[in-house]
Amino acid sequence: MNPGTSRRALVVGGLLAAATAAAARPVAGAARSALTIAPEVTVDLRRSNQGLVATIEPTATALAPLPLVVYHHGLGRDTDAILHRRSTAAIREHLVAAAASGYRVVVSDFGGYLWGNERNHRHIDAVIAAHRRRGGAAGPVALIGSSMGGAAVLSYAGTHRRDVACVVALQPALNLAALRRRGVPVDAAFPGGYSNARHGARSSPTVIARDRRSRYRGMPIRIWAGSLDHIATPALVRRFEALVRRGRDPRVQTTILPGLRHGDALIGAVPTDEVLAFLHAALPPAPLAAAPEEPEGPEDPDGAQRIARAPFSIASRIRT
């Protein structure tokens, strides 16, 4: 990302961090007071049976129901970490930018570290159903996942084709059996431990892609990984891409970023404008009402015009 974008990510991340840290403390009742934050979005926090759920929406008035973008965290992360850790500023930038452009973006704990198992998929179902009950757009949704979350959203997409418009997979875990052999803690999510024979056809993206009837056919999929990535290795990414391309109308595109390892730095190297362009092409955002023009301030002695800027506020709430 360019230096200007990085600075903006830190500002948005820092403001969102302050709001989330204050709002995440247990409270009784429905609402907390308004908090000053970035102008583009509002954030609503709720407790659910899958943990903390954050809904990020544009501050601007939507002129149609908001399409849904679901973000799934990786191993060692949860909603709280995504919202306020300094190291996760890059993913926050992607998500805030998506929401501000006309989506409802949901970030959830999804029940913990479930690696795309059936319970994980039920949690994604629940988020989609809640979005529709709250007046969101009907029809397919966009999924974004990182690492373990990449496995979750890709496996969900591969088994729920009608519900998914597109997938953004950031350094995704693609082959659960290979990860298990390397000591990655996959087994705990599956009764009796993970195996391709018992679980692969629903949970491992590579196994799903091997099936010539794969539901990945025709689905827009965008993958970013690093050349030094030990989870989404270049070999595993190329293998997955080749399997998907056997299907009808393949629409998978991969980018291997040179010199980058698995981690938050890799997500920071993914251009936000490319993520948005991909989402907009596959699932158009809701149109937003134009913001009123800001009045010009008085002219300075040197002739420069000062622009009046009012503070922005956001209602950030936890509901139980």
Q: Look up the pTM and report it.
A: 0.81
DSSP secondary-structure letter at 40?
A: T
Q: Answer whether CATH 2.60.120.260 is correct for domain 3-290+310-319.
A: no
Percent composition of the chain: helix, strand, coil (DSSP 3-state, to 5): 40, 20, 40
Does the CA dihedral 105-82-117-44 come out positive or negative? negative
Q: Measured between alpha carbons, how far is 129 from 142 in angstroms, rounded to an integer?
A: 14
pLDDT digits (tens, 9 = 90+) for 43-79: 999 888 888 999 999 999 999 999 999 999 999 899 9
pLDDT digits (tens, 9 = 90+) for 256-277: 999 999 999 999 999 999 999 9
Every domain of the chain and the residues it spans: 3-290+310-319
- Determine how many CB atoms are found less than 10 A away from the CB of residue 5: 16
